[in-house]
Structures are given as C-alpha cells and as structure tokens.
Structure 1
Amino acid sequence: MLNAESLFDLSDFTYADVFIQNDYAWVALNNLKSYMDSIHYPELNKTLVPDGKPLAETIILHEGKCISADEIEIVYGDTTKGGLKATRNNEILEGASVIMAGAILTGERIAIGKGVLIESGAMVKSPTVLDDCCEVRQGAYVRGYCLAGKRCVLGHTTEIKHSIFLNDAKAGHFAYIGDSILGNNANLGAGTKFANLKMIKGNVIIRCNGDRIDTGRRKFGAILGDECQTGCNSVTNPGTIFGKQCMLLPNTTSPAGFHKAKSLIRK
C-alpha cells in the first residue's frame, strides 16, 4: 500500500522509471537527483534566454529552436488543454512553447516540452523538467530537481523544490511543496503547505497499520496519491502519505503517516 503502484497510475507518465517497482514510493525522492542528472537537456540560446537574467522579450521554443516572438501572434488559451497557440504568417507553429518576457531561467539543465507556458516573473532553476502543456505561473519559484509530467500547473507564488508532479497535478496558488510527490490529477487548494522538516532531529518515520517505517530521509514532505485534494490553507506534517482520492479539508493540519484511500481528513 506504500509502493508507487498502489498510489499512482504510471502508464502515461513519461518518467515512470524514477520509481522502483514494488519499493516504497518515497524511494523516487532518494533517486531524483541522480535520475535528473542523467537526463539529456537541450541547449537554450543564451543570447535570447540569458542565464539568471530576466528575459528582455518573449521567446518561442519551436522544434528545438529559440525564436523571438516579434511578428508572432500568441493566443494565451488554457495551456493545460492545449490552448496555447503561436502563429507566424498564418502558419500555426505546432507544439510551440512560450517563455514570457520577465521570466528568469538559471542553469544549463532545463527541459521544456511542447505547448508549455512560463509566465513573466517566474524563476526556474536547473535542473527542471516540464513535460508537454505545463504552465508555470507568474511568481512561481521552481528551485531545482523538479520533475513535472504533462499538463501540470506550477502556480502563482508557489515554491517547489526536489519534487515530482505526475500528469495533471496542479498547485495553482500560494503553495509550498518540498521533497514531495503529487499524483495524477492531484489538486492543491490555495495556501497549501507541505512541511518537510521535523522540528526535532532524526529521520522521518512513517506510521502505517501500527508499524513504524524509517524512511531514511531527513526531509520528507507529502505524497498524494492519484486524485487527492487539499483545501485552502491546509498543512501536512512531514511524512504524510495519502492513498488515492483522499481529501484534506480547508484550514486543517494533517497528521503524519499513511491515510488510506478515500479518507476525509478533518484534523
């Protein structure tokens, strides 16, 4: 019940091999750095996308090339539904991604899929992977070793570090996500915080069915199974694991440990 297969459908997740079959789901967090260090990252044009500086103009990524958005019409539709469109001379640039002026990208290892939008004011640090149709909203702080599947939202003034988003996971507003995993279609209410460091020294311990399992991790936020939801201004204690379709009510602090599928967490 604590392995990836019991928490997630990995059949359409491009990076499913970050998880180890029949092992604890949090082992993917142990593997994340070495896994992301091994990925091939395309080289961005440093003239148009300078390292660590706000973009002076909006840039289009299309077929492996960086293009100035001058004379390109951009339709900012719903990114996660394929609504981001770029057109040049009445020709649609299929799969084009957009990095808006004012965004900041740092480091050499940032992979951006098709139909991705990075808004003004976002900071994305290396290494980061954004699969197709992801949206990185204004003010997002993506601190590195962040792996996002298809159609994810890395939201406004949301801070993310050393974490995995499976397909369609969304953290739209004012969240903190550290050393955590969001399952397919997981959705975080505004102001959700995943505490990832115990106030006393020692590894995070998972409590499950009366057992105490040492994760070996000093930092461990939360793991949300597929289709979990958190309410606004909710908090999870370090080492919280939700089975599929759990719901954490607004203004609620979740106890650490495993919560079985379809649990309603009220306190």
Structure 2
Amino acid sequence: MYEELKIKNNYDLSQTIAARLFEGAEYPWEVLSGIGDFIRKLGEELDKEEYEKRGEDVWVAKSARIAPTAFIGGPAIIGKDAEIRHCAFIRGSAIVGEGAVVGNSTELKNVVLFNKVQVPHYNYVGDSVLGFKAHMGAGSITSNVKSDKTPVTINYQGEKITTGLKKMGAMLGDNVEVGCNSVLNPGTVIGKGAHVYPLSMVRGFVPADSIYKKQGEVVRLK
C-alpha cells in the first residue's frame, strides 16, 4: 500500500550511518520520534579513531570541518568529511551524513541528512529526512507544524494519510532538488529524483522523477 511513499523506493540505506534507524519502518516519517535515542546509542559505538565526542551527546568526525561560529547541540552526529559552515545552528537530534554541507545560518532540528546532502544557504530543516545527495536551494525551508496545531496528514492522490505526528516537515528522497525560496509544507513527501521549481509552495506528494512547477502542474522527467 502507498508504494511510492515507502522507504525502500526512495532511499538508499547504504548511504547513511543511520541505516539501523529505519529497520522495521515502512515509511520515512515513522523514524522521526526515535532519532534522538538512536544517536545516543550509536554515538557510543563509533570508532574513536574517526570520531571524537564534543560536549554532551555530540560526536563529530575528525575529518569534518566545523566553523568556529557554528552551534551543535546534542544529541548529534556529524559524519566524516561533512562541512558545518558559519553560524549554522544544529539544535539537536540531528544526523549529518558523510560529505554533507550545512550552510551559513541554516538550522537543523530532529533530522536525518543522508550522505552528500546539501542545505547550504539560509535553510530551516526540521522533523525531516533528506536522502542521498538531496539539495535544498537558498532560502528553501521545511515547515513542520500546521497552523492549527493538529496532527500532520499527507495528501496522497486525493487521500489523507494520518501520521499521528504533531511535527513533521518533509521527506525528500535521494537526489531531490528543491529550488530557492520554496516552502515545503507539513507532510510533504518528494519522491527520489524529483525537482521542485524555485518559489514553490509544496503540499502533499510529488512523484519520483518529476518536476513540480506549481500546485496542479507536475510533469515527468523521464
């Protein structure tokens, strides 16, 4: 059921240190509540030759580049060769994958960024999962709470799927491209390889390998 939304069809789990987090889950939003505890457990298992503990529940790869002005709150894991730039704000419960970029004034909270993800300029990413090589253009954000504070639902082909979550941002599959200054509304799911035009307001599901131009206008890439 809902095959297009499933983890197995949108994420290469070999491209994240958090693969075990997804075990037993069918849909990506199901892992959000367990990110913090998973980090605390995994952090203690990390190779001390490759990672060092910095403060409470914060593990940083020795090969990662961290700007002195960046803030990293635990629990958090910063992967090998990742780059955390000037004034990045990592609030906690964040896994930043190998070779990922967290840019100037970007804020993260309760997220999994797979390897090679780029959120490089003025992004807010909260309660979200971003797949391998996903990229969010400058100023694009995930909105993770509905204005009426009711649980988030996912609009899928005219049906509303209940998540039971008060906070859920966006699920981006592998190689998703989000254009500058776009807003991904609560419960957005974007299939792998899809592109979103700049200045978009996205709600619901965007199929894999498609281009989201505006609400009601989505075309196939292939």
1:174 aligns with 2:119: no
The within-5 A match list for 1:77-226 is: 107-226=55-174
CA distance in 2, matches of 1:108, 1:162: 16
Q: Which residue type is aligned with residue 20 of structure 1?
A: E
TM-superposed deviation, 1:209: 2.6
Distance in 2 separating the partners of 1:244 and 1:131: 22
Match of 2:213 in 1: 266
Q: Quick one: structure 1 residues 32 and 65, their matched pair in 2 at CA, closer, same or farther if it must change by over 3 Å?
A: closer
What is the percentage of aligned positions where both structures have the same residue? 34
Could you tell me which residue of structure 2 aligns to residue 80 of structure 1? Answer: none
Give SS of 1:34's match.
Answer: helix
- Which residue, out of 166, 174, 177, partners 1:229? 177
- Matched to 2:98, the amino acid is K
Secondary structure in 2 matching 1:38: helix
Aligned-partner Cα distance in 2 for 1:178–1:221: 6
**How far 1:266 moved relative to its partner?**
1.7
Cα 1:158/1:132, change in 2 over 3 Å: same
Name the amino acid aligned to 2:210: S
Letter in 2 for 1:135: E
Do 1:202 and 1:218's aligned partners in 2 also have CA atoms closer than 8 Å?
A: yes
Q: Which amino acid aligns with 2:134?
A: A
State the alpha-carbon separation in 1 of the partners of residues 52 and 128 from structure 2: 32
8 Å CA contact retained: 2:97, 2:115? yes
User: Partner of 1:241 in structure 2?
Assistant: 189
| Contact 1:5-1:22 within 8 A present in 2 as well | no
Q: What's the C-alpha RMSD, in Å, of the aligned pairs?
A: 2.1
Aligned partners of 1:249, 1:217: CA distance in 2, in Å? 27
What's the TM-score, normalizing by structure 2?
Answer: 0.88
Q: SS at the partner of 1:265?
A: strand
| Paired positions, count | 210
Alpha-carbon distance in 2 for matches of 1:212, 1:131? 36
Shift of residue 263, structure 1, vs aligned partner: 2.0
**Residue 3 of structure 1 pairs with residue 6 of structure 2:** yes
Amino acid corresponding to residue 150 of structure 2 in structure 1:
G
Match of residue 16 from structure 1:
19
Greater RCO, 1 or 2 (C-alpha within 8 Å, sep 6+)? 2
Instruction: Determine helix, strand or coil for the equivalent of 1:177.
Output: strand
- The alpha-carbon deviation at position 113 of structure 1 amounts to 1.7
Q: Are the aligned partners of 2:36 and 2:94 in contact in 1 as well (CA < 8 Å)?
A: no
Please list the CA deviations of residues 199-231 of structure 1 after superposition, one character each: whole Å capped at 9, or x if unmatched. 013110012133221111101111110000111
* Structure 2: tracts of 5 or more residues without a match: 215-222
Which residue number corresponds to residue 35 of structure 1? 38
The structure that is helix-richer by fraction is 2
Given that 1:223 and 1:240 are in contact with CA atoms closer than 8 Å, whether structure 2 keeps it comes out as yes
Give the superposition deviation at 1:41: 4.1
Structure 1 residues not aligned, in runs of 5+: 43-60, 67-104
Matched, 1:257 2:208: no
CA distance in 2, matches of 1:169, 1:130: 12
- How far residue 27 of structure 1 moved from its aligned partner, in angstroms, is 0.8
Spell out, residue by residue over 1:157-208, the C-alpha distance to the aligned partner (whole angstroms, 9 max, x if none): 0011000100110100100001011110001111011111100131100121
The amino acid that maps onto 1:152 is A
Cα distance, 1:26 vs. partner?
Answer: 0.7
CA distance in 2 between partners of 1:64 and 1:240 (Å): 33
